[in-house]
Amino acid sequence: MFDTFTLEQVTVGEVTLRIRHGGRGSPLLLLHGHPRTHTTWHRVAPLLARHHTVICPDLRGYGESTVVPTTPDHAPYSKRAMAADMLALMRHLGHEQFAVAGHDRGSYVAFRLALDHPDAVTALTVMDSVPIGEALARCDARFAEAWYHWFFFAQPETPERVINADPDAWYAAPHNSPEAMGASNFADFHHAIHNPRTVYAMLEDYRAGLSVDRTHDDADRATGRRVACPTQVLWSTKDDLEYLYGDVLDVWRPWTTALQGGPIPSAHHMAEEAPTEVADALTTFLASVASTPRNP
């Protein structure tokens, strides 16, 4: 995986992040989702590295990045804390301004990074998500049935006991296999889900989602705060965003100032299942952003 990319550990504040980076050109930060690690990008990153310097970290608590102790409000696993990690990482690597793309849980970090640090983020791509506050405000029986894991993962202690009793059974699915993911990517994922500390951290990510992250989103909604940079939204045709929300772009419109996007013919893990389509969508979007002068 990741031919010509550099693998290293970078300490930023209270965490050490495992990252891979490579390529040449304008910087692009790629953020994975649950229960993946940065290796989920192994089919996309080399394509993007033809035009960009691509940085793929494990989020805090995921993969081989630091698992930090939590607090009663779960703030150490808030998307604001994770976004601050990413800003510090990019500055450590010498990138004061950069584009960011995130999938699944990583999309919430990317979104928070763009909201909290508008001077740093030049372009935002979110994949297979709507804002956490939006999802919870719109929650109905269909959402609760399809995304029940949000509420199960937020419970104390029980999810850890269930998942750690048999991680392979919990995460068993056709798309979670060496054939679908690629052997090395699967091995990294498999190692992560068998580490009880990583499982704990991944669950804390969800607990933060239903508490402190929702508070942050709701506060931004109340003040009308929006993403200042151009935003692209991508969603999988075989996932359920259209089923739940109809017009996905319409959900994002109040949160953005310049919005575009569309569907990717794929199931949920689009970076693994439709890497060429994802890379093409990102490359085209970022080229259009680069050709448009930013407002002073």
293: pLDDT strictly greater than 80:
no
Q: What is the DSSP letter of 219?
A: H
Contact present, 56 and 20 (Cβ < 8 Å): yes
Q: Within a 10 A sphere around the Cβ of 239, how many other Cβ atoms?
A: 20
Catalytic one of 21, 38, 95, 268 = 268
Catalytic one of 32, 42, 85, 104 = 104
- In the residue annotation, 213 being an active-site residue is answered as no
Share of the chain above pLDDT 90, in %: 97
Q: Which amino acid is at 250?
A: D
Domain range summary for the chain, segments of one domain joined by +? 6-290
Tell me the C-alpha to C-alpha distance, in Å, between residue 3 and each of 7, 42, 182, 280.
10, 9, 14, 19
Q: What are phi and psi of 188, to 5 degrees?
A: -70, -45
Give 207's strand partners. none
Torsion angle in degrees (nearest 10) through CA of 273, 191, 89, 50 = -30
| pLDDT for residue 234 | 98
Confidence of residue 295 (pLDDT cuts 50, 70, 90): low
Q: What is the DSSP string of 160-180?
A: HHHHHH-HHHHT--TTSSHHH
pLDDT tens across 188-207, in order?
A: 999 999 999 999 999 999 99
Which CATH architecture is the domain 6-290 placed in?
3-Layer(aba) Sandwich (3.40)
Contact present, 111 and 131 (Cβ < 8 Å): yes
pLDDT tens across 88-100, in order?
A: 999 999 999 999 9
296: pLDDT strictly greater than 60:
no
255: pLDDT strictly greater than 80:
yes
| pLDDT for residue 183 | 97
pLDDT tens across 208-251, in order?
A: 999 999 999 999 999 999 999 999 999 999 999 999 999 999 99
- In the residue annotation, 104 being an active-site residue is answered as yes
Which candidate, 25, 22, 24, 26, places its Cα nearest to that of 6? Answer: 22
